[in-house]
Amino acid sequence: MTDPSRTIKDRLYAQVARMGKAISSPKRLELIEILCQGEKTVEQLAADAQISVKLASAHLKELRQAQLVETRRDGKYIHYRVSSLAVGDFWVALRALAEDRLVELQLALAQLAAHSDELSPLAPAELLHRAARGDIVVIDVRPREEYDTGHLPHAQSMPLDELRARIKELPRKKPVVAYCRGPFCLWGKEAVALLRDQGIRAMRLQDGVPEWRAAGLPVEIVNE
């Protein structure tokens, strides 16, 4: 005879396992990270993740079935977004755990910093304090719509594809700290290389808005 309590426990674990199944694909994890930056259409997500729209739709279906993402229709377009900020916290916690336990990931992240002084050494409180005083300039190199959805306090929107044309807007005598989507994002690294090539003292912040939020730090939203 089957133990009723065993049956209940099996059902409970099976439901939690749905989350594990949903995030078992590297591309689905990437889509979650992108959606943590703000709402996107499937076409935008496919372009960002460098996959076909058909494959992106299939991955999003899995994430939606696990209640990790939800949709909003606007005319002929369907917009995707994370179902709650808790999904962003989940992604940050999972990535942090992987970095803590997997040497391969630690080595891969270390390789992103070509120079020992590339990463900003400032703690969040000190970064905010110096940015508020105008001692440093913080730039957000993500697309403008992601900046509008949520950005670090005192940060200026300066998307990477506009940076070279707008570099004259940056002061030459103040350090510039650039950030993008998080530790796996390379835009901040590219921004720092470009700025340094132009003689500007630049560093990058490894964390992005999801990490900032997960740590309970303030995030600003445009027009809110």
Which active-site residues does the annotation give?
180
Cα 16–Cα 54–Cα 27 angle in degrees, nearest 5? 45
Which residue(s) pair with 176 in the sheet? 137, 202
Distance CA 44, CA 28 (A): 14
Distance CA 119, CA 140 (A): 15
The DSSP line for 65-86 is: HTTSEEEEEETTEEEEEESSHH
Positive or negative torsion for Cα 88, 29, 38, 64 = negative
